[in-house]
Amino acid sequence: MGSVHFLLRSKDESNMTDTTTTYIGDGAHERHPTSAISRPIVRTLADVPAREVQWMWPGRFPLGKVTLIAGDPGLGKSFLTLDMASRLSRGADWPDAAYPNRLPGSTLLISAEDDPADTIRPRLDAMGADTSKIRVLDGVFWTNAKAAAPLRLDRDVSSIDKALETMEMPRLVVIDPISAYLGSVDNNSNADVRVVLAMLGALAEKHRVAIVCVTHLNKGGTGKAVYRAMGSLAFVAAARVAHIVTKHPGDERLRLLLPVKMNIDATRTGLGFRVEQGRVAWAEGQAALTADDLESEGSQETATQLSDAMELIAIRLKDGPVPAAEINREGEEMGISSTTLGRARKRMGVKTTRQNSVFMWSLGE
């Protein structure tokens, strides 16, 4: 297959720099003739206008960038993305933040798992969405073909670009799941995955939309959450933001949306939600656990112990400093490991001081 050249021009008229990404459909890198000479593309940072990160959902889903949502099947990832599309269509607030732009925004859905007629539309209707502001990309049509073809991200990102150009105030693109649209891209190849995500990133930047790619978790089931997205680590590494959807360890019906990677904002808290009567019902407040708390050691018991550890520390330190050895001993008696206590201590901002060769823990002011 020949190379596909994708040219994107920024909508920011003050910075009309062209970005060209070349991808070879068979997964190989393009080989230039020996007579070809490369030319560097360099800018002086003094000529680059600084700007703050803009958000679709403040602190969670940025505009102009690619965000990943990973989770096991059946946990409500698709409901979550439809809830976002519904809120955008109405200009409604987010569960934990005000909608920064009161004008309704539009969404482009690219879904391989749910039928638009009997699944997507009924769910959006139940959520009160303005479906006139939500479009579904069914496929692409090549002029030399007799019928439409499924979308392939290794060759058809320009078709998404053209679709967005026809939409009024696009704010969100959902690709669910991204693995269904990779074409000839090797799901486990860092190089191949990075090329596709770079093209999507350029597309997000051009249209100032949030591109949300949904994926499943690998079958390992253990280790840090950042390593659990199915396929190449590049999915998480190349995405600017990544979240995980998982079950709450103490409530079978409660789901948690937890940040795994957030390198453009300090947000580390998660949110809880349930799927009730075809709608997403958000729990009040922030989730006390992190993705790594739930995924580390591959055990739901660890998450429960973390909550117990935080309660133990709060009770023991409420009246002042206590020797760390005492708390560790009590934790051991309760079946809480010193590692879990350490994570709880860090979460709570517990201070460690030394008094007469004894390490003391105390709650910070």
pLDDT at 329: 84
| Residue 38 included in any domain | no
339 — alpha (psi -120 to 50), left (phi > 0) or beta? alpha
Query: Given pLDDT bands bounded at 50, 70 and 90, which one contains residue 225?
Result: low
Compare 142 and 87 and report the one with higher pLDDT.
Answer: 87
Residues 277 and 352 in one domain: no
Select from 247, 278, 296 the last residue of a domain. 296
H helices of 181-337, in order, are: 190-207, 234-238, 291-295, 300-317, 324-333
pLDDT in tens, 153-210: 999 999 999 999 999 999 999 999 999 999 988 877 778 888 999 999 999 999 999 9
pLDDT at 14: 41
Compare 30 and 310 and report the one with higher pLDDT.
Answer: 310
| Residue 35 included in any domain | no
Per-residue pLDDT at 29 exceeds 80: no
Quick one: average pLDDT of 50-77?
92
Q: What is the mean pLDDT of the chain?
A: 81
Interatomic CA distance for residues 103 and 91, integer angstroms: 6
- What share of the chain has pLDDT > 90, as a percent? 41
Quick one: average pLDDT of 232-255?
80
| Residue 37 included in any domain | no
Residues 231 and 339 in one domain: no
> How long is the chain?
365
Averaging pLDDT over each range in 122-136, 265-279, 305-319, which range is the top one? 122-136
Per-residue pLDDT at 304 exceeds 80: no
Query: pTM of the predicted model, to two decimals?
Result: 0.72
Per-residue pLDDT at 19 exceeds 70: no
Per-residue pLDDT at 356 exceeds 60: yes
CATH number of the domain residue 319 falls in: 1.10.10
Interatomic CA distance for residues 310 and 345, integer angstroms: 7
> Could you tell me the residue range of the domain that residue 264 belongs to?
3-30+44-296
pLDDT in tens, 145-156: 788 899 999 999
Total domains in the chain come to: 2
- What share of the chain has pLDDT > 70, as a percent? 79
Residues 109 and 81 in one domain: yes
| Coil, helix or strand at residue 72 | coil
What's phi and psi for 193, nearest 5 deg?
-65, -40
pLDDT at 267: 62
Residues 116 and 163 in one domain: yes
